[in-house]
Structure 1
Amino acid sequence: MAETTSNVAQGVTDHALERYIGNTIRELRQKHGLTIAEVAEQSGISRGMLSKIENAQTATSLETLAKLASALGVSLATLFRNYNIPAGSAQLVKQGEGMEVVRRGTKRGHTYHLLAYDQGPTKRFEPFLITMDDASEVFPTFEHPGTEFIYMLEGAIEYRHGQSTYLLEPGDSLTFRGDIPHGPEKLVVLPIRFLAIIYYSALPMLE
């Protein structure tokens, strides 16, 4: 399925980050001996869009990056691993300084901030701070490896996992399998903020 212009508007806007991600995707693809056509087919995006991403000619959404990471046999965090990471084994992310990896819709939309960048040989977890403050937003469903944990900080949301829907309010948490379709169903009280932590199994991923 080809990417649309709206995906570009929703994506990462920092050109340095676009170049870094493009180079990382190209290096991983070449490392595994895959062609642009093969990765495009496996990820469900067009060859032209993949070429533009690799050459930093367009921004893209978190959803598309997740598809590319899956096609390349790595976790999403691998695409950001060494981007602007200080040396050392500890990472401090000050309030409001997490890397914004996707923005959907208008300025009053849907934002993801990646709060840590795993530097190890395999990915164990990915923590995101997610903010939603536009009731008119249309949110896609997600599927990914591992287990996801959500902790509500502010607002209220109906969150769907498979055939079930859960009302989440501040202090509530929800843990579920990531490979079952899931995502926001209804924004009940705005603004909404919650932590989403994806934990991967101990089995090493292809790097």
Structure 2
Amino acid sequence: MTEQLKDIGARLSMLRESMGLTPEKIAAALDVPVEDYLLYEAGEKDFSFSFLYNVAGILGVDVVDLISGETPKLSLCTVVRAGGGYEINRRKAYDYKHLAFTFRNKKAEPFMVTVEPKGDIIPERHAHEGQEFNYMVAGSMDFYLGDMVYTLNEGDSVYFDSSVPHAMKANGDTPAKFLAIVMK
């Protein structure tokens, strides 16, 4: 696996140990097999954003703290210029750019997400605590929420309970781009 996965896994292990939690306790809280959790800590299994979001909540840290190893310093304002943001490439079909990565004690996590077309492959669904708002900036995508599927086009939006398993799939041959705001 990549060095980034190993670094994130090492931070997971260090944070878990510093809180006096066992791998079994964290795995149970995340509802994943302990064997899978240990593979995450070893940097041998790729993370979904939902996994990172959920484990960050359990450990009491920001998602960006886990990914970057740096704690944000700002609490008044953060500005991200066009095309900027902290890149989080956790899945081949999804490109996330965190738009408030230097802001401390956020009540929401804003991301610009690009979903690459993957043909007829139905994406794996993931869930995390809270609620989410997605606004389509460009392209078209199918939005999967539980057993439902919605086609979203530029200008459309969806607000949903993100504890329900969900996924997105770009339609056609062009990427779909949307603003995602994840609320705790």
Q: 2:157 is matched with which residue?
A: 173
Residues 81 and 119 of structure 1 are in contact (CA less than 8 Å); yes or no, is this contact kept in structure 2? Answer: no
Residues 16 and 59 of structure 2 are in contact (CA less than 8 Å); yes or no, is this contact kept in structure 1? Answer: yes
Trace 1:24-35 onto structure 2 (pairs within 5 A).
Answer: 24-35=11-22
Q: 2:84 is matched with which residue?
A: 97
Whole-Å separation in 2 of the counterparts to 1:102 and 1:48:
21
CA 145–84 in structure 1, closer or farther in 2 if over 3 Å, else same: closer
Whole-Å separation in 2 of the counterparts to 1:104 and 1:167:
21
Q: 1:72 is matched with which residue?
A: 59
Residues 36 and 51 of structure 1 are in contact (CA less than 8 Å); yes or no, is this contact kept in structure 2? Answer: no
Residue 135, structure 1, aligned to residue 118, structure 2:
yes
Cα distance, 1:133 vs structure 2: 2.4
Question: Runs of 5+ in structure 1 lacking a partner?
Answer: 1-7, 201-207
Q: 1:126 is matched with which residue?
A: 109
Whole-Å separation in 2 of the counterparts to 1:18 and 1:88:
29
The 3-state SS of whatever aligns with 1:96 is coil
Residue 192, structure 1, aligned to residue 176, structure 2:
yes
CA 51–78 in structure 1, closer or farther in 2 if over 3 Å, else same: closer
The 3-state SS of whatever aligns with 2:171 is strand
Residues 136 and 157 of structure 2 are in contact (CA less than 8 Å); yes or no, is this contact kept in structure 1? Answer: yes
TM-score normalised by the chain length of structure 1: 0.68
**% identity of equivalent residues:** 30
Trace 1:8-87 onto structure 2 (pairs within 5 A).
Answer: 8=1, 15=4, 19=7, 21-22=8-9, 24-43=11-30, 44=32, 46=35, 48-53=38-43, 60-72=47-59, 76-77=63-64, 79-80=66-67, 83=70, 85=72
RMSD over equivalenced CA pairs, Å: 3.1
Whole-Å separation in 2 of the counterparts to 1:165 and 1:28:
37
- Whichever residue aligns with residue 196 of structure 1, its letter is A
Whole-Å separation in 1 of the counterparts to 2:113 and 2:84:
13
The 3-state SS of whatever aligns with 1:49 is helix
Whole-Å separation in 2 of the counterparts to 1:132 and 1:73:
29
- Greater than 3 Å deviation, 4+ residue runs: 21-24, 40-43, 57-61, 70-78, 84-88
TM-score normalised by the chain length of structure 2: 0.75
Residues 61 and 102 of structure 1 are in contact (CA less than 8 Å); yes or no, is this contact kept in structure 2? Answer: no
Whole-Å separation in 2 of the counterparts to 1:72 and 1:84:
14
- Whichever residue aligns with residue 150 of structure 1, its letter is N
Deviations 1:8-49 (A, max 9, x none): 4xxxx564x963x44542343134311234324543252542
Aligned residues: 178
Question: Runs of 5+ in structure 2 lacking a partner?
Answer: none
Whole-Å separation in 2 of the counterparts to 1:51 and 1:80:
13
